[in-house]
Amino acid sequence: MEQQDEPTKDQKIWQVVIAIPAGKVASYGQVAEMAGLGRQARYIGRALGKLPKGHSVPWYRVIRSNGQVAFPEGSEIYREQVSRLEAEGVEVVNGRVAMRRFRWQ
């Protein structure tokens, strides 16, 4: 069996990412912790990279802890993320988010 009765980590991660309010962003570590994964911040990117085609996960709302995008400037993927963020009302300058990041207090 490859599937379990309970949702997999990827599913949880996607759910968490989807739970991020529009206009805000979260870091990989924050998402990992929120998903109950703890320090598996790296797994977040891996899960997002494995996202299926018809997914509805706003992966573009997930950035690094320093507020910078996880992709190099000029990259197509980078432009897409920035474009989507700007569409959400998030300001991105020089590859970093100039807005208040999502905060669970």
Could you say whether residue 16 binds DNA (CB under 7 A)? no
- H helix runs in the chain, sequence order: 9-18, 28-34, 41-49, 76-88
* Distinct helix (H) and strand (E) counts, the chain: 4, 4
The token duo for 33 is 């912790």
Q: Which of 25, 35, 44, 82 lies at the binding interface for DNA (CB under 7 A)?
A: 44
| Interface with DNA in residues 80-99 (CB under 7 A) | 81
Chain residues binding DNA by CB under 7 A are 9, 27-30, 38-46, 48-51, 59-60, 62, 64-66, 70-71, 77, 81
